[in-house]
Structure 1
Amino acid sequence: MSIQTIDGKALKQMILRAAARLDAEKDAVNALNVFPVPDGDTGTNMSMTLTSANREVERAGDRTVGEVAAALAQGSLMGARGNSGVILSQLFRGFAKYLDGKVTIDGRDLARALQEGVDTAYKAVMKPVEGTILTVAREAAAAAQQASRKDRSAAAVMRAAVEAAEAALARTPELLPVLKKAGVVDSGGKGLTVIYHGYYEALSGEASDVATVPTQIPPEEEPVRTRHDTSPATQVAFRVDEEISDIRFPYDCEFFIRRYRDGGPIPMDHIARELEQWGDSIYVVGSEDLAKVHVHASNPGPVLSLAIQYGDLIDIVIHNMREQHADLLRNAQPAPEGVDAPQAAVAGVAPAAQAEAPAPEEELPTAVVAVAAGDGMAQIFRSLGVSQVIEGGQTMNPSTQDLLDAVERCPSRQVFLLPNNKNIILAAEQVVALTDKKVYVVPTRSVPEGISAMVAWMPDEEDGERLFHNMKQAIAAVQTGEVTYAVRDTVYEDLEIRQGDILGLWNGRIRKVGKEPEAVLTELLEAMVAEAGGEVIAVYYGNGINAERAEAVAEQLRERFPDHEVEMQYGGQPLYHYVFSLE
């Protein structure tokens, strides 16, 4: 029997059913990630985010829908993994905001809560791209609101939302060319439709009979595979890579607005809209009492003048990105020797003395949290002074809660967070507002970038802003290479790839395909040296390579690149035969 109104217990069942269905279908969602390397996948990240929310919901009381929705928002935020998980948590955050204080709801309230979730998620992305999870969520909410004007039954409204979500998902390839070329629908949008199917099944009391769209669509031409680590939406919406030489808005401005004691609530959406006239890369998030602002501006003056109307400005950080880049080009030096401990160089044996950094008795000026996969990588980071190493990387993105817990364990009030993977950066940024410590998220997209950032970190320096500036400068000079294997057949740009082929990636882009890891490593390095130059090659070998083989590879590389210093260390990372940097 379908449910007309929703109480706390019914909402809890909706969430539990959605989590179970997404867990069962996460592999189908993962299959839409056409980039063929072993990687963190959308379905897995969304499922783990919802599973974290599910645990919080199970612990919460179910007397009111407001209580359950608040637990959903809190659990999803703390458990958000990857970009897709962060977007999902924003949908839940707005959903909970509308339901705050409500005991029971009908279909009209449900529709409005879905719309509030959409509004919150869109506010987190000032220039969203259509054909994504956001599009699916928006059209589902609009259909729910329209249906609620005729029938206030919760089940009827949710059915309308599911049907609209499926229709929007089917149109995503028409809205986003990367999907049409790949012959698939959007992975994040697919994950959201699975969740909405779960909601409807809990409300209707039976399996959803709403037709689902095919996830694979016949392309009009031979598909050209391009990477979208989660969904193309999250890749485009949260794009952080910019060509410095062509940048329109050179001032990177970041600060908090703290509401004036006798002032009104901070109008975050109004501020975000106003900022569009002066810059891009905008987000304004937080609460009516404390909001965080980020914008790349042509002139920081008007930005600060606008913001100060609504509260005190605190923790103001402004960087001239053009000047930073120019300084880096003028003053760049090769990374210092000794990134590895002497015992670990070339031989491949991680220094045993650094197996676990002892907890200091007194508070340090600053501390560092780093994400890394592999015991060798973890020990390298500890030898460089990292206080907390979180196991994670490509196939296992740590949650916001994992990152927050590590920050809280650090013996310092100033903590640097190194995600070391571009799909972890957004989850790391959530930590900033969840602790009273000052957290600097250094946007490291690979382990080599993280190591270079640690070389620039100075344990006795108390000026966190200066260290943050130096660490970001250091990672700008790093070229990252990776040698792994293909997990599926595909076509990427002009490369024909078969499952099991060895792939060489340069800064995340597939550049070489072969049959032997060492041959691909050498060919990729030749291309990188020819285009980028550099002086130091630091190679970290994975858990499938033994020390003797690594030593032989190191000697071959020294002969092939006599003008470069070549270092070989044990990384122990899974899935990736070799990870290396060129500086």
Structure 2
Amino acid sequence: MRRWLADAETVLANHSDRLNAINIFPVADGDTGTNLYHTVCAASAAAAEAPGNDVGTLLAAAGQAAMEDAWGNSGTLFAVFLDAFAASLAGHQRLSAPLLARALHRAQIRAWSALSEPVGGTMLSVLEAAADGAASVSGRAAHEDSNVALAAALDAVVEAALGAVVATETQLGVLTKARVVDAGGVGLLLVLAALRTAVLGEGIPEDTLETLHGFRVQDPHIHGDQPETQGVEIMCTITLSPLDAADLRRRLDEVGDSVIMSPVGAFDDVAGACRWRVHVHVTDPDSTLELIRTVGEPERLALTELRSDTPGSDGQPAEHFVEDTGRGRTA
């Protein structure tokens, strides 16, 4: 599991520019690769330091670190995925095909429920396909806990995820018009392929990735040609009761979009609350922060301007303005 997250960090570092180049949904701000990379870095660092051999405990630490330090919409969804994936592995020292299927199924449900308005043709569709792929293999092998069964399940996961990524181009109108696949979906595919690499030593060939529309190195930065994006992304962590969390989600749905809310860590029975990671896109950040502060004090607060930047001479998207009170991002 440590090798998985380290491999995912490496592969996202190698492909972040291309992920940024095709990032046009939900906003064309060209930062999906950057956001996924930095979020996975936080998870990988936590996994490297986590003691013991319980894969669930190790990945839970990685998932919570990712949640606390998530960047953007795609990073937050990855953190939700990893945190839920870990829950099914608690008490186990080895990944098996049935555990993989169970973990992906749980992650799929958690990811869809974390968004107020989940949309297909995105990371969600890729995760759903991966979970179905694992389930189609799990239980069919004579020795379902064997390495052979795990290898078959991982092959099915990556094959299904790749097919789902290709399908994203036809599932969202904005992707169809631009003739590109979903950037977040490709990012999740790379993360899942990194798991197969860690176990089997086999990743996705570069020539396969280059068949994805918009993903060749010589392809242009599609996001720079999209209509100008307006608004601000707000991310924070806040301690709330379940009732207050539901009320905050409802109120954020009224003033913004891309709302994601997911618990961070365990529920505190004594306090009757837990920590929540909050993500939202809004046009009026000041009033939204006032709204959030009516239910609690936000921590690890970050505001990022959403805009479609033209790539600089180095091929990287221009950096966004960031107001940061807790995660070390600078403009």
In structure 1, the partner of 2:155 is: 159
- Which has the bigger relative contact order, CA under 8 A and spacing at least 6? 2
Question: Does residue 293 of the first structure (1) align with residue 214 of the second (2)?
Answer: no
Structure 2, unaligned stretches of length 5 or more?
216-222, 235-239, 298-304, 316-329
Question: Does residue 486 of the first structure (1) align with residue 307 of the second (2)?
Answer: no
Correspondent of 1:256 among 229, 234, 241: 241
Q: How much has 1:118 moved relative to structure 2?
A: 0.7
Q: Does structure 1 retain, via aligned residues, the 8 Å contact 2:12–2:187?
A: yes
Q: Look up the equivalent residue of 2:245 and give its one-letter code.
A: K
Call closer, same or farther: CA 1:38–1:95 in 2, change over 3 Å: closer
Q: Does structure 2 retain, via aligned residues, the 8 Å contact 1:53–1:76?
A: yes
- The SS at the match of 2:245 is strand
- The SS at the match of 1:99 is coil
Determine the C-alpha separation between the residues in 2 that align with 1:57 and 1:159: 24
Give percent identity, aligned residues only.
27
Determine the C-alpha separation between the residues in 2 that align with 1:442 and 1:201: 31
Q: How much has 1:24 moved relative to structure 2?
A: 1.4
Question: Does residue 168 of the first structure (1) align with residue 121 of the second (2)?
Answer: no
Determine the C-alpha separation between the residues in 2 that align with 1:179 and 1:483: 18
Determine the C-alpha separation between the residues in 2 that align with 1:98 and 1:228: 42
Question: Does residue 138 of the first structure (1) align with residue 123 of the second (2)?
Answer: no
Question: Does residue 113 of the first structure (1) align with residue 66 of the second (2)?
Answer: no
Question: Does residue 214 of the first structure (1) align with residue 195 of the second (2)?
Answer: no
Question: Does residue 91 of the first structure (1) align with residue 87 of the second (2)?
Answer: no
In structure 1, the partner of 2:60 is: 70
Call closer, same or farther: CA 1:466–1:79 in 2, change over 3 Å: closer
Call closer, same or farther: CA 1:256–1:437 in 2, change over 3 Å: closer
CA RMSD between the two structures: 4.6
Question: Does residue 150 of the first structure (1) align with residue 103 of the second (2)?
Answer: no
Determine the C-alpha separation between the residues in 1 that align with 2:191 and 2:49: 20
Q: Look up the equivalent residue of 1:256 and give its one-letter code.
A: S
Question: Does residue 28 of the first structure (1) align with residue 24 of the second (2)?
Answer: no
Determine the C-alpha separation between the residues in 1 that align with 2:246 and 2:93: 34
Q: Look up the equivalent residue of 1:73 and give its one-letter code.
A: G
Q: Look up the equivalent residue of 1:214 and give its one-letter code.
A: L
Query: 5 Å matches for 1:5-404?
Result: 11-34=1-24, 39=29, 41-151=31-141, 152=144, 153-209=149-205, 211-212=208-209, 213-216=211-214, 226=226, 256-257=241-242, 292-294=245-247
Structure with a larger share of its residues in helix: 2
Deviations 1:132-154 (A, max 9, x none): 11000100110111022334322
Call closer, same or farther: CA 1:179–1:437 in 2, change over 3 Å: closer
Q: Does structure 2 retain, via aligned residues, the 8 Å contact 1:173–1:185?
A: yes
- Between 136-145 and 125-134, the greater mean CA deviation after superposition: 125-134
Q: How much has 1:120 moved relative to structure 2?
A: 0.7
Larger radius of gyration: 1
- Runs (4 or more) in structure 1 with deviation over 6 Å come to 427-431, 433-439, 441-444, 451-454, 481-485
Determine the C-alpha separation between the residues in 1 that align with 2:13 and 2:224: 29
Call closer, same or farther: CA 1:75–1:40 in 2, change over 3 Å: farther
Q: Look up the equivalent residue of 2:85 and give its one-letter code.
A: F
Q: How much has 1:465 moved relative to structure 2?
A: 3.6
Q: Does structure 1 retain, via aligned residues, the 8 Å contact 2:264–2:275?
A: no
Call closer, same or farther: CA 1:177–1:110 in 2, change over 3 Å: same
Q: Does structure 1 retain, via aligned residues, the 8 Å contact 2:64–2:264?
A: no
Q: Does structure 2 retain, via aligned residues, the 8 Å contact 1:81–1:427?
A: no
Determine the C-alpha separation between the residues in 2 that align with 1:157 and 1:54: 23
Q: Does structure 2 retain, via aligned residues, the 8 Å contact 1:18–1:198?
A: yes
Q: Does structure 2 retain, via aligned residues, the 8 Å contact 1:30–1:42?
A: yes
Q: How much has 1:167 moved relative to structure 2?
A: 0.5
Call closer, same or farther: CA 1:209–1:256 in 2, change over 3 Å: same
Q: How much has 1:62 moved relative to structure 2?
A: 4.0
Q: How much has 1:445 moved relative to structure 2?
A: 4.4
Determine the C-alpha separation between the residues in 2 that align with 1:105 and 1:165: 19
Call closer, same or farther: CA 1:118–1:164 in 2, change over 3 Å: same
Call closer, same or farther: CA 1:82–1:138 in 2, change over 3 Å: same
Deviations 1:315-367 (A, max 9, x none): xxx89x8xxx9xxxxxxxxxxxxxxxxxxxxxxxxxxxxxxxxxxxxxxxxxx
Determine the C-alpha separation between the residues in 2 that align with 1:75 and 1:44: 17
Q: Look up the equivalent residue of 1:80 and give its one-letter code.
A: A
Q: Look up the equivalent residue of 2:196 and give its one-letter code.
A: Y
Q: How much has 1:98 moved relative to structure 2?
A: 1.0
Determine the C-alpha separation between the residues in 1 that align with 2:133 and 2:187: 18
Call closer, same or farther: CA 1:200–1:228 in 2, change over 3 Å: farther
Aligned residues: 278
- The SS at the match of 1:292 is helix
Question: TM-score scaled by structure 1?
Answer: 0.40
Call closer, same or farther: CA 1:225–1:113 in 2, change over 3 Å: same
